[in-house]
Amino acid sequence: MNVAGLQPGNNFEKMGNNLKMTGWRCPVCGDGLVPEYENKCFVCRGNAGSAKHHSFDIARQGYVNLLLPNQKGSTDPGDSKMMVKARTDFLDAGYYQPFSDAINRICKEMLDGKSGIIADAGCGEGYYTKRLASSLPDCEIRGFDLARDAVSHGASSARLSQINNVRFGVASLFDMPLSDGAAEGVICLFAPVAEGEFARIVKKNGFLVIGVPGEDHLFGLKSAIYSEPYRNALRRDELSLFEPVSVERVSYGITLRTNEDIKNLFRMTPYYWKTSEADMAKLDMLDTLETEVCFDLLAYRRK
């Protein structure tokens, strides 16, 4: 059976399929982990001569679960299938494509002609992960998230789209299954920033791109719900292990074309969890909605 989406594509073979080059790290013992696509698993070889062999199955959808039971912690309420579907439907409608294009361009600039592994920490259902993979065919993009339904969706849709240079794994971004210095870069979009872990997996002079909402992000949506909408605080993360390189704002207006699009956008925001039923019901009346979208992309280089 083919396990596409996790198949060795051209680029994977170019990078080599040996222990040293895979860059995968066993979450149990920390040794190198080797994908065995024909056996539908990832296997830890252990150190030479050691008897350790930890094995992790590649799921039918093409992702690998590298999360240990003790790493699970509390489950994110954003994990549900309904949330994944809302995010997927909204993102696939293309409203955030200019933001995704900006991420791709900045990663390309930060790579400066190099190729290699780029981790997407907290990749969700993989919209940005897959688009980055398509724009950087000489790189392998590895998306990690705690949300299994999201990762599963990412893997199966990558397979459908025949994007071979992307891998998806269930893993915590605070403990990624990548060896030290394995990655050229990390992107972290609207997800927790694990500076120490990012610094561990990225090469010296490698890069980090953090995506955060800007002050006016979704102000039109908030105005439709709240009588006193507020603007977001400006975010500029000061990091000690990474040098700031650039800040780029991507902002533009969008017109949501259907009530379903409006509700999908609302469901993927944190407001979904803290809005009263009465305020939420205001969205039922709307067939279109204009709102600003405003993202900041903060780029850094590993010291």
List residues near Zn ion by CB under 5 A.
26, 28-29, 44, 54
Cβ at position 102, least distance to ligand SAM in Å? 13
Q: Judge whether 40 and 58 are in contact, CB under 8 Å.
A: yes
Give SS3 for 189.
strand
Q: How far apart, in whole angstroms, are the C-alpha atoms of residue 46 and residue 53?
A: 6
**Which of 16/192 has CB closer to ligand SAM?**
192
Considering CB distances under 5 to 8 angstroms, the limit depending on partner class, which of ligand SAM, Zn ion, none binds residue 54? Answer: Zn ion
Residue 218 makes contact with ligand SAM by CB under 6 A: no
Contact pick of 9, 78, 177, 214 for ligand SAM (by CB under 6 A):
78
Residue 150 makes contact with ligand SAM by CB under 6 A: yes
Cβ at position 43, least distance to Zn ion in Å? 9
Exposed, middle or buried: residue 112 (CB in 10 Å: 0-12, 13-18, 19+)?
Answer: exposed
Q: How far apart, in whole angstroms, are the C-alpha atoms of residue 108 and residue 79?
A: 30
**Which of 66/84 has CB closer to Zn ion?**
66
| Sites for ligand SAM among residues 183-202 (CB under 6 A) | 189-192
| Sites for ligand SAM among residues 117-146 (CB under 6 A) | 122-124, 127-128, 144-146
Q: Judge whether 181 and 205 are in contact, CB under 8 Å.
A: no
- The runs of H, that is alpha helices, within the chain are 10-15, 19-22, 81-92, 97-111, 127-135, 148-160, 195-201, 219-225, 259-267, 271-274, 277-281
Q: How far apart, in whole angstroms, are the C-alpha atoms of residue 33 and residue 10?
A: 20
Considering CB distances under 5 to 8 angstroms, the limit depending on partner class, which of Zn ion, ligand SAM, none binds residue 158? Answer: none
In sequence order, the β-bridge partners of residue 255 are: 290
Cβ at position 166, least distance to ligand SAM in Å? 14
**Longest Cα separation, the chain:** 67
Residue 272 makes contact with ligand SAM by CB under 6 A: no
**Which of 115/269 has CB closer to ligand SAM?**
269
What six digits make up the tokens of 219? Answer: 């102000």
**Which of 150/178 has CB closer to ligand SAM?**
150
Considering CB distances under 5 to 8 angstroms, the limit depending on partner class, which of Zn ion, ligand SAM, none binds residue 176? Answer: none
Please give the residue ranges that form the binding site for ligand SAM (CB under 6 A): 76, 78, 122-124, 127-128, 144-147, 150, 172-174, 189-192
